[in-house]
Amino acid sequence: MILVAGSANVDFMVRANHIPIPGETVLGRSFETFAGGKGANQAVACCKAGGATTQLLVALGADEHATVIEASVKAGAVELLPVRIAKVSTGAAFICVSDDGENAITVAPGANAYLLPQHLPDLSKISHLLLQLETPLDTIIAFVKAAKRQGVQVVLNAAPAEALPRDLLLMVDILIVNEGELMTLANETRSVELALEKLPCQSVVVTLGERGCLARHNGTLYQQAAFPIKALDTTAAGDTFCGVLVAQLSQGSDWQTALRFASAASALTCLTLGAQSSIPSALEVAQFLENH
């Protein structure tokens, strides 16, 4: 079983011709509300697209937005382990999506900032703990230490990008980052390959957008090309990749197979608006792979 511990947000999404630059006001078109947040997105991806039994530990506010998260996560067959935070709003994200599928996101953490070390549940049935950086770093470090003591594989999606203690990276079994996050963590500007070598984690995976992804596992490099698509909305594409990769590895897939399945699921996510609502089923991913 996979435990995802992380964030949940209600996404307020506006579609516009382009993403505004600082000081610019852009007249948008449609406005919609979706369930999102890196933790919740990755949990739904683990279960729905990856086919793995999944729990989600998340802090929710005492407001109507919490019900949006609960309904979406449960619809994805994820077992929800909610921490209720009184007098605090559920996390929220404000997203502008351009006509070419790119997005700009601002997050108000709300209840996510109140997820604490003592909230970690029993890990006796957990094989992998999947974390992100939208909850307090002290809590993440405490969760990682507890998981390592119990022999649980630790997977960290180091997003949003920030400097991390080397001691934390040494405890992480699988680190998943995008190219910008990789360069920030490795303090490397010359090449992706050099940056991969500089990080102390046993396995490092970097997503490269239209160039696919690259992974270093026990000194071996794996490369997976991106699947050609016309993206409608890239929101949750990275989260889907993370969740499905961990799900595949937890079920015994080799690295090349896991990277291919995760890349396909991520591509399919870009074809639909929204975060959790855009995550495909495992059957849809399998059918997509049959044609590619």
Catalytic residue annotation: 239
Helix (H, G, I), strand (E, B) or coil at 64: helix
Torsional sign, CA 131, 60, 52, 44: negative
Report the DSSP pairing between strands 91-97 and 103-108: antiparallel
Closest CA relative to residue 71, chosen from 82, 84, 83, 86: 82
Helix (H, G, I), strand (E, B) or coil at 197: helix
Q: Which residue has the tokens 């699947």?
A: 227
Alpha helices in 48-199 (DSSP H): 64-75, 137-149, 166-171, 179-186, 192-198
CB count, 10 Å around CB of 21? Answer: 8
Task: Find how far residue 278's CA is from the centre of its chain.
Answer: 14
Residue 80 CA to residue 85 CA, distance in Å, equals: 15
Helix (H, G, I), strand (E, B) or coil at 252: coil
264-267 contacts at long range (C-beta below 8 A, 24 or more positions apart)? 264/227, 264/288, 264/289, 264/292, 265/45, 265/49, 265/50, 265/240, 265/241, 266/207, 266/237, 266/238, 266/240, 266/241, 267/226, 267/227, 267/229, 267/237
| DSSP run (H or E) holding 244 | helix 237-250
Residue 106 CA to residue 197 CA, distance in Å, equals: 32
Contact 212, 192 (CB under 8 A): no
